[in-house]
Structure 1
Amino acid sequence: MPLSYKVLLAGVSSVALVSAAMAQDTLGSAENPIMLDPITLVSDGQENVEATGGIAITQEDIEELAPADVSELFARDSAVSVSGGAGPSKRIHVFGMEQSNLAVSVDGVPQGITSWHHTGSNVIDPAFLRSVEVEAGAAAADAGFGAAAGAVRYETLGAKDLLRDGQAQGGRLNLSYGDNGRGWSGSLAGYGVYENFDWFAMVHGSDGSNYDDGDGNEVPGTEPATQGLLTKLGYEFEGHRVELAYERSEDEADRVIKMNLDLANSTDVYPLKITRNTLSLRYTSVAPTASWDPEALVYVSRDEYWRPNYATGERPVNGDMDLETETIGGILKNTFTLDQGSVTTGLDWAYNDYRVDNYGDFGRGVWTAETMQIGAFAQARLEFDNGIDLSTGVRVDHQRYTDWDNKRLSDTGVSANATLSYEFAEGYEVFAGASQTWLGYDIGEFGLLHARDESFRTADDFEPSEATNFKFGFNANQGNWNGNITYFDTRLKGLGYYNTDGQYDTDPATVAYLGNADDYRSRGVTMQGNYSWGTGRVGASYTKAKLTQDGDKVLPIGDTVMPIGDMATLFIDQDIPDYNLRVGGTLEWAGRLDGDWLRAGSLQFEDQPSYTVVNLYGEWRPQSYENVAVRLGIDNIFDRQYFERSSYAQRADGAPVYPLYAPGRTITLGLTTNF
């Protein structure tokens, strides 16, 4: 982004924040508080989310979808594509950009970068989720550090989300069984309140077998094996609340070496265990005032990826892997409420320690690296009487990077964002947004170190990365219907890149290194629309994205970005009150990718065919037992053979790499009861 744009964004943010601070003086003080309802920008509080090209998935949506994994969680949203295969391989891409380029959090706890592009670093279990927000493109300053292409916020369930009126304690049991490898899945939750305490505990597990694709071919290493635990304990006193939470996710099963592709039609599988443990302590105020609405969070998390020693040969590039990441961090912020809206200010910090063990008999043996980041941010969300709304903010981050050779780099950067909307008629508005985001030293897929020689180094000219986002569009909201169209343009500059051209050279001039990649870019358009009629609703979305690197179209090779072309979804839900029945369905469509898009040099890929997948469900609640729900779901009802757009495509020449096909027709029967 030219310097003039950076200065303009920072200037807009500074003026808005200073004006808001001056206005705060007229609203009251801690001694004389004025209670105000919070106001946010665009479409009833959906600032920077649905109304500007993003996604909001509610608790009701999740209950209707009953998703077994993140592919099903985002099945109604064309802006998000998901890698195929078993649970640990499922990484999301927003507008074709992989999740490491977004600030991903669970209950405010950052999830960190993807360790290896063939397998995700953690497993998001939809059984625990209450809501999801995807902030696409220009993200707010309080979205977190490293929000290059936006942010994804997962929120988990708690006692107050499930307790019914008049209940002091309760529970929920969910059981399901599906064919085509889905097998058994179940969760059990207990929750309640007692005086000033509230508590929540939930366990979930699944056990199945490999699924068959639409042509009846078994896909090895795809058996469900997710297990999870979520506990929360809250205490409120004199207007304050503290909550201690612990979350554990685990997936342990026999998997193929590279889980998001079919390598040479191999059926070989090996033990793989992926775990994540997170402990967090949160403080909030339950009696906020205009000038005092604080939140404090401290957390510690540990990710582990363990694949045992089965490799052979002198340099087992595709062999064993033992990855480990430990993170400790915190967030401290306060929201000031004004006549015009709100201003959130705060600090966040995170220390990350990375460890990679070369199980093979060459190289360094153990690689370690660490990063330390601390940032200060302020974000204003303002709404004016003349129809103009403004969300703008700035953050300053300092980061230190120490590599495996104890080489230390440090730098400081400034990020700024602004989203402006104008309501020119009631319920109709236009908007424009931009952001410049400083990302620090991006170490990329650190799991690649497992196959590097001891001479691998950090380049002398390794620099911090940056991201630039632009978006503009039109939004309409008329009560029972709403829609929007958004044009987006995201550029990622200097992301971490593991150059291996000289992997085994000894000449310092040609040895392999961690450096900065050529610029990535995703630009295109996304549209959404929804209509409701009381007992039902229908919705649709369409996304077209062109992804390039250094001006050339990217190939489907599975790391930072993936070509997605044209994608669309259509869904419908309908209640039939006379029978206590709800039915619905989802249609997913992807256009054909062909031509020069998939061919560059020696990397030749076959065309990716278009596909259409239809999923149907029905849910019945017996009249005498309204706390019981029976659900029948049929996914891929026409048994179509297809692979999701962010999975690998088939290669025509060179090493044989084939797509990892999605499940064929799968029928699932589930029972949920609240007690």
Structure 2
Amino acid sequence: MRQRSPSGRADPAFFLPGRSSMNSLPMRLSLTGATLLALAPMAHAVQPLPDAEARTLDEVVVTAEREPGNFAIDRNEIELTQAADLGDLLSNESGVAVGGGSTVAQKVYVRGFEDTLLNVTIDGAQQPAELYHHQTRVQVEPEFIRSIELDAGAGAATAGAGALTGTMRVNTRNAFDMLSPGRDAGMLVKGAAGFNGQDHHKAVVAAFARVGPNLGLMATHVRHDGGDYDDGNGQRVSPTAFDHERSQVKLNGQFNAHSFDLSAERLDDTGTYYERPHMTNFNGRFQLSDHRMRRETLSYNHRYNPASAAIDVRATAYRNDSRYQNRRNNTGLVYSRGQQVSTGFDLRNTTRLDAFDLVYGIDYRRDELRATQQATPPPFWGSTQQTARVFGAYVQGDWRPSASWLLSAGVRWDDYRHEVDAGVGKGASNAQSRPSPNLAIEWRPTDHLSLRAAYAQAFRGVTIREAFFSALYTHHGDLEGERADNVELGLAYERDGWYLRATGFRQHIDNYIAAVYTGNAEWGHWGNIGQAEVDGYELEAGKDWQQFGVGLGVWNSDNRFDDRPLNDADLGLGTGIGRTWTARVDWRSASGRSRYGLRARRVEDEANSIAPGAPDKPGYAVVDAMANWQLLADGQLVLGVALNNLFDRHYYDHATYGYNAGAGAYVGFPASGRELVTSISYRF
């Protein structure tokens, strides 16, 4: 049975005191937009951009050069897979696993490490907030994503502060992406449904227009409502029902050497789950709780790129407000709640000479947390107020001494400050600064083959940790910042549609910070507990013809902590994932109006070190089939169909918390069984 909150009304306590409510977001957007729109007369003084140029404005977010083993998911892939969440988007990519079963419990693992060690940005806005277990940080709505890019492992200085295991950038669409050729305004209406268990339904509406010769404005809204799903054995998995809403307003434009985009996004998730949303009630003591989560992101990106080799300025400013609240379903009492507000900017310039490119800049972020938990025995109930900030300066250069060689080197320097202002651990502070260098050499012995070797360090000082645990575990002011080093060897070969990409890597993370339970006068404290490491490889090969493509990949990560394998109990750090094989087949018609695809994933057995005698994590194989058809010209009417888990396999993703030693059973959620997903969209 689908679980719902006893009351459909908004809980005033969800809006924490001392913070502006969500109603202030349109006001902030309108004030900023009014300033920009005041410049609209300038747009009429410049030549209007042709449609082709207006639809392909330069990306504002600077990205590192694509390396073997990394990936970029474009809009075509998102639409073909009928993606409803990150699991649908990322599970078939090299080096990535997504676990949880239910949408709210999903966690992303890159090379076996959790996304908490990964820099995540949405339209350039950093998403550092860890609120409650699996919730909020990586919950995104795929419907209006333009692309997702992953650079795995510590890397370039431009990746941002604290990118211990890499960076994942999510970029959303704008009005020029949506407009049909020759049109100045349009709308998109879409309906989608997934048929499994109690099913799920999605409604999408978007309006977009060219409001000046070079200005575009888009407003979107998505409502996604899902019930409990069935696993591969046909058993109902409860509670997994959810209610998801996402709204965005985006203004973008280009005036001669200037281009910009301004985005305001709000995402809401509500549902009724057990206290730990990624686990069943295996011990009989977990109570159902009403969970509410909201993320509000305001970002502004600007690029100034005149006809000068010395100047290409890119600036990003953002404010990210994430909050959550869990209340006992039977009593309405607060279990936990928290709010983290992050504001920051990134300002950089690129200078291009004949054989040398140099990127240099500064970035800054300030985080503020307020959190309360009443989940423990009353003597340990607590709250906290914390602030943290990081200031960074960086430089990254690429030198091409000849057509066959590329030398890339850079360094960033980051200064971290963290303070506990009130509540648990009040008065504690941590401060540390450290450089993070990197060096990479690429050799191209032929036009088709490149070989690469790279070394990089990354430093993350003391930051605000998960809001729930921050109101429980104290700071003593004695923490060392976390330091990562990463060594990679890679090759890439491409010729006549054939490709082969391979990467081998070894990474260490020193001084890993985690919550340490003591159970004395304090429940526990934050401490440096040891060193994590990973050794692994990624390999992809395939062939692309004009209308047909095939690919095969394999990746494996051997993750350890202080010389023992990682397991599901290493929450916040990572887990063991079996060697993973991926395969894909794509075919499109000669007209380009229909596309078909197959995605397959085979995960081998993995030894489970969670307890002596624990059973291995069993292997599994999953196949997804998908297709879409343009029923009218120019993609005005599109029908999509996907059949996920085609053979109805019952399995636990290795990235899901599976076996619990105390219970002697699997306590995480199994993956969804066979699901038919259909959608139809009309753009006019």
TM-score (norm 1): 0.86
Change (3 A) 1:67 1:527: same
Post-superposition shift, 1:87?
2.3
Map of 1:359 onto structure 2: 374
| Cα displacement string for residues 133-158 of structure 1 (whole angstroms, at most 9, x for unaligned residues) | 11011321111111101111111111
CA distance in 1, matches of 2:542, 2:78: 17
CA distance in 2, matches of 1:203, 1:579: 29
**1:529 paired to 2:541:** yes
CA distance in 2, matches of 1:122, 1:70: 8
2:290 equivalent among 271, 275, 278: 271
Q: Is the 8 A contact 2:95 2:110 kept in 1?
A: yes
Mapped pair 1:328 → 2:347: no
The offset of 1:565, in angstroms, is 2.4
Alignment match, 1:151: 167
Which residue number corresponds to residue 596 of structure 2?
A: 583
Q: Distance in 2 between matches of 1:649 and 1:122?
A: 21
1:341 Cα shift? Answer: 4.6
- Find the counterpart in structure 2 of residue 243 from structure 1: 261
Q: Deviations over 1:388-428 (max 9, x none)?
A: 11222111111111024122221211011122110112211
Residues 606 and 649 of structure 1 are in contact (CA less than 8 Å); yes or no, is this contact kept in structure 2?
no
Unaligned runs of 5+ in 1: 1-44
Q: 1:169 to 1:662 in 2, by over 3 A?
A: same
Q: Deviations over 1:108-131 (max 9, x none)?
A: 111105334343435211112100
**Structural mapping, 1:73-472, within 5 Å:** 73-180=89-196, 181-193=198-210, 194-237=212-255, 239-264=257-282, 269-285=288-304, 287=306, 289-309=308-328, 320-359=335-374, 361-363=378-380, 365-403=382-420, 404-450=425-471, 452=472, 456-472=473-489
For structure 2, the residue ranges without an aligned partner over 5 or more in a row are: 1-61
Structure 1 residues 310, 60: CA separation in 2 closer, same or farther (over 3 Å shift)? closer
C-alpha distance in 2 between matches for 1:577 and 1:132:
27
- The more displaced of 364-373 and 208-217 is 364-373
Aligned AA (2:318): Y
User: Is structure 2 residue 544 aligned with structure 1 residue 544?
Assistant: no
- CA shift for structure 1 position 655: 7.0
Q: Which letter maps to 2:366?
A: Y
What code does the residue aligned with 2:555 have?
T
Cα deviation, residue 288, structure 1: 5.2
Change (3 A) 1:227 1:548: same
Partner of 2:507: 490
Corresponding residue number in structure 2 for 1:62:
78
Deviation string 1:258-280 (CA, Å, 9 cap, x unpaired) is 22232407695321011100112
Change (3 A) 1:475 1:563: same
Alignment partner of 1:571: what SS?
Answer: strand
Tell me how far apart the structure 2 counterparts of residues 428 and 81 of structure 1 sit (CA, whole Å).
29
Aligned pairs (5 A) from 1:520-669: 520-557=532-569, 558-577=571-590, 580-594=593-607, 597-600=608-611, 605-622=614-631, 626-654=635-663, 658-669=667-678
1:414 partner SS: strand
Q: Decide whether aligned partners of structure 1 residues 229 and 85 sit closer, same or farther in structure 2, where only a CA change above 3 A counts.
A: same
Q: How far 1:246 moved relative to its partner?
A: 0.2
Letter in structure 2 aligned against 1:170: G
Residues 67 and 126 of structure 1 are in contact (CA less than 8 Å); yes or no, is this contact kept in structure 2? yes
3-state SS of 2:387 partner:
strand
Q: 1 CA distance for matches of 2:91 and 2:665?
A: 29
Supply the AA of the counterpart residue of 2:308: T
Instruction: Judge conservation of contact 1:388–1:423 (CA < 8 Å) in 2.
Output: yes
Shift in Å at residue 618 of structure 1? Answer: 1.9
How far did 1:350 drift? 0.5
Q: 1:599 to 1:100 in 2, by over 3 A?
A: closer
- Contact conserved, 1:444 with 1:495, CA < 8 A, in 2? no
Report if the CA contact (8 A) 2:149-2:169 is conserved: yes
Kept in 1, the 8 Å contact 2:86–2:139? The answer is no
Is 337-346 or 525-534 further displaced after alignment? 337-346
Cα distance, 1:295 vs. partner? 1.4
Q: 1:578 to 1:137 in 2, by over 3 A?
A: closer
Q: Read off the aligned partner of 2:201 and give its amino acid letter.
A: W
Counterpart code for 1:408: S
Quote the Cα distance in structure 2 between the aligned partners of 1:297 and 1:47: 16
Query: 2:316, 2:634 → 1: CA distance?
Result: 40
Sort the Cα spacing of 1:170 and 1:578 in 2 relative to 1 into closer, same or farther, 3 A: closer
Hey, what does 1:23 align to over in structure 2? none
**Is the Cα–Cα contact under 8 Å of residues 418 and 429 in structure 2 kept in the other structure?**
yes
Instruction: For residue 657 of structure 2, give the secondary structure of its aligned residue in structure 1.
Output: coil
Count of matched residue pairs: 612
Letter in 1 for 2:313: P
User: What is the CA deviation profile of residues 77-108 of structure 1, one whole-angstrom value per residue up to 9, with x for unaligned ones?
Assistant: 13110122332222211001111111111111
Tell me the SS of whatever aligns to 1:262.
Answer: coil
**Distance (Å, rounded) in 1 between the aligned partners of 2:591 and 2:146:** 28
| CA shift for structure 1 position 462 | 1.4
Cα drift, residue 286 of structure 1: 5.3
Moved more, 229-238 or 129-138: 229-238
Deviation at 1:200, TM superposition (A): 1.4
Q: Secondary structure at the match of 2:673?
A: coil
Structure 1 residue 622 displacement after superposition: 2.5
Q: Within 2, Cα distance between the matches of 1:447 and 1:167?
A: 49
Q: For residues 289-309 of structure 1, give each alpha carbon's deviation from its aligned partner in whole angstroms, at most 9, with x where no partner exists.
A: 311111122211111111014
Residue of structure 2 in register with 1:34 after alignment: none
Name the stretch that deviates more: 576-585 or 301-310. 576-585
C-alpha separation between the residues in 2 aligned to 1:337 and 1:48? 15
Q: Distance in 2 between matches of 1:121 and 1:110?
A: 10
Question: 1:607-662: CA deviations, max 9, x gaps?
Answer: 21110011101222226674211111110111101121110122344575523101
Report the alpha carbon displacement of residue 202 of structure 1 after superposing the two structures with TM: 1.1
Q: Out of 166-175 and 512-521, give the one that drifted further.
A: 166-175
Separation in structure 2 between the aligned mates of residue 118 and residue 154 of structure 1, nearest angstrom: 19
Query: 1:441, CA displacement in angstroms?
Result: 1.2
Structure 1 window deviating more from structure 2 (238-247 vs 138-147): it is 238-247
